Copies of this chain bind each other. A is one copy, B any other.
Amino acid sequence: MSSPSLFDRATDHMIALQESILAAVEELEGGASFRRDDWEREEGGEGDASNPAAPILRGWGRTRVIENGRFFERGGVNLSVVEGRFGSVAPTHMPGDGHQFRAVGVSLVLHPHNPFAPTVHMNYRRMERGSTGWFGGGADLTPNYLFEEDARHFHTTLKTVCDAHPGVANHTAMKEECDRYFTIPHRGEMRGVGGIFFDHMMTQPEESFAFLRDASQAFIPAYLPIARRRDNTPFEPHHRQWQLLRRGRYVEFNLVNDRGTQFGLRTGGRIESILMSMPANASWAYDHHPAPGSDEARMVAALQPRDWTA
């Protein structure tokens, strides 16, 4: 009997990861809160038919969305397992060769109601193309108000995981990659306080997989203590208004800059799963600048790369 492939083992991990995160989040919520939407897709494209790079996809997934929960206003914790082949134009920027690829991953975005509780994002995945396979992913935190202890806790938890896997993970490099990736170029600011991000991790596959398991499971200790700390903090309408403006920036980043969202929208991915990252509500205002010295100004000043583990 042959042992299961790394892809299959990664799939088993992602299935279990999604379940454990859902259980932890529902405990915070105080009850079953996620809408469960299992999907399966026969081979066939949707979306932008004029795009010769659009792949034909098939696969299955478990979309788990929360809307108007006790703690979370909107979000999702999604599992997807897809295989496909690129159309006439295979991408040159992706490792591996040929037109066949497959991917398994868990993708999470959660937007709390409370303006003092940060939005969080996490995505970990295994991809294979031709005979080449790799891991990628990361997690980042997007507060509306700066609590330095929250940023420190999030970063320190992720650093501990990286430091436990020195053969494959370098926290400094992954933290800097995250700072770069989650910068909104047209705003000259990060969308939050960062975290870690990496891609194309392909050497030492066993050690890489061990790191991926630990990093993805660290979501619970990295984020939930922060959520509990900010739960029930009283807030005023002006805090909510600021949160909505910051969510406008989140929307800008995701729709203009996020490579995963762009790839999904342009290649016929499942729209409702891709756009579960959108907040329930977002606002825009002309040339808005927080008052100097305000809590809002302190937050904006922190949207630049900073060492949160010092």
- In the complex, whether A275 has a CB less than 8 A from a CB of chain B is yes
**A257: nearest chain-B partner, CB-CB:** B265
Is B252 in contact with A256, judged by CB distance below 8 angstroms? no
Q: Is A47 positioned at the interface, with any CB of B under 8 Å from its CB?
A: yes
A272 contacts B248, C-beta separation under 8 Å: no
Give 24 A-B contacts (CB < 8 Å), ordered by A residue: A35-B286, A37-B287, A47-B185, A48-B185, A65-B286, A67-B285, A67-B286, A74-B284, A76-B286, A185-B265, A185-B266, A186-B265, A186-B266, A186-B271, A244-B281, A251-B251, A251-B255, A256-B262, A272-B286, A276-B286, A278-B284, A281-B281, A282-B282, A282-B283
Say yes or no: is A187 at the interface (Cβ < 8 Å to chain B): yes
Q: How many copies does the complex hold?
A: 2
Residue of B nearest to A253 (CB): B255
The verdict on A89 contacting chain B, using a C-beta distance below 8 Å, is: no
Q: With both chains docked as a complex, state the minimum distance between the C-beta of A115 and any C-beta of chain B, in angstroms.
A: 16
Question: Shortest beta-carbon distance, A219 to chain B, in Å?
Answer: 21
CB distance from A31 to the nearest CB of B (A): 19
What is the CB-to-nearest-CB distance from A199 to chain B, in angstroms, rounded to a whole number? 18
Most buried by B among A272, A283, A284: A284
Q: Does A280 contact B (CB under 8 A)?
A: yes
Decide if A143 is an interface residue (CB 8 Å cutoff). no
Contact flags A267-306 to B (C-beta < 8 A → 1, else 0): 0000110011011111111110000000000000000000
Chain B minimum-CB-distance residue to A272: B287
CA distance A251 to B244 in the complex (A): 14
- Report yes or no: A186 in contact with B284, Cβ–Cβ below 8 A: no
B186 and A48 contacting across the interface, CB-CB below 8 Å:
yes
**B280 & A280 in contact (Cβ 8 Å cutoff):** no
* Residues from chain B with Cβ under 8 Å of A281 in the complex: 244, 281-283
Q: Report chain B residues within 8 Å CB of A35.
A: 286
For chain A, residues 26 to 71, give those with C-beta under 8 angstroms from any C-beta of chain B. Answer: 35, 37, 47-48, 50, 65, 67
Cα A265 to Cα B278 in complex, Å, equals 20
Nearest B residue (CB) for A279: B284
Cβ-closest chain B residue relative to A277: B284
